[in-house]
Amino acid sequence: MSHTFGVRQAQKQRTRQALMDAALALLEEQSLSSLGLREVTRAVGVAPTAFYRHFRSTADLGVALVEEALGSLHPVLGDLMSAVGDNDELIQRAVELIARHVDAYPAHVRFIARERHGGVQSVREAIQGQLARFTEEVRTELGKRPETAGWSDDDRSMLAGLYVDQMLATASLFLEAHDGPEAERDRVTRLAGSRMRLISIGCRHWLD
């Protein structure tokens, strides 16, 4: 009995993932607000009614895609922020991390970039919730750094938000350069590093 239940659960999870993968592929060319569940189920080869065994709506599916796209990045960001090294080394690691993530998951990055200000409220809120978590995690790590000694929590939150916003902007730039010449990727790498160094310089002189 337990074996049969396990097989059914595994099949259910495969179907759920197939629906998410199909939706993500369809969203390469359109926004979530225009996506129909029949398009998704047709791409997977299941009946439209099967969709509701996994998601309440396409908005609910979109929220699951947000979790898939951003949820796994929290421990990665934590490792980056707690890494030891001088400022330039940490900035270089951050830019390389963003570039690798865009190379590995371009569809996820494009989905977040489009839906962050898109027409589906629950998805916007899910993205903002994830970004707020990133900001809080960065703020916590910044509190351990000597360069923010004497700062208020509000100031650390502001700095953390600047870093998170810059990471998103860098991801969008790498996405635009994804299939372009290497020279364009190099330009994005230099620009991203310069912007983060500028934030860092401002950080060191904030209390002057």
85 falls within a domain: yes
1 falls within a domain: no
Q: What is the 3-state secondary structure (H, E, C) of the chain?
A: CHHHHHHHHHHHHHHHHHHHHHHHHHCCCCCHHHCCHHHHHHHHCCCHHHHCCCCCCHHHHHHHHHHHHHCCHHHHHHHHHCCCCCHHHHHHHHHHHHHHHHHHCHHHHHHHHHHCCCCCHHHHHHHHHHHHHHHHHHHHHHCCCHHHCCCCHHHHHHHHHHHHHHHHHHHHHHHHCCCCCHHHHHHHHHHHHHHHHHHHHHHHCCCC
Average pLDDT, the chain: 91
Q: How many domains does the chain have?
A: 2
102 shares its domain with 188: yes
62 falls within a domain: no
188 shares its domain with 105: yes
pLDDT tens for residues 124-156?
Answer: 999 999 999 999 999 998 898 888 999 999 999
Per-residue confidence (pLDDT) for residue 179, from 0 to 100: 85
Per-residue confidence (pLDDT) for residue 32, from 0 to 100: 96
90 shares its domain with 190: yes
pLDDT tens for residues 100-115?
Answer: 999 999 999 999 999 9
Structural domain that includes position 38? 7-56
15 shares its domain with 105: no
94 shares its domain with 36: no
Which of 32, 56, 80 is the last residue in one of the domains?
56
Per-residue confidence (pLDDT) for residue 71, from 0 to 100: 87
26 shares its domain with 92: no
123 shares its domain with 186: yes
21 shares its domain with 115: no
124 shares its domain with 174: yes
Per-residue confidence (pLDDT) for residue 80, from 0 to 100: 78
Per-residue confidence (pLDDT) for residue 191, from 0 to 100: 96
141 shares its domain with 49: no
CATH of the domain at 34: 1.10.10.60
pLDDT tens for residues 67-100?
Answer: 999 988 888 787 777 766 677 888 898 999 999 9
98 shares its domain with 191: yes
78 shares its domain with 130: yes
Per-residue confidence (pLDDT) for residue 85, from 0 to 100: 65
Q: Given a cut of 60, is residue 1 above it in pLDDT?
A: no
CATH of the domain at 159: 1.10.357.10
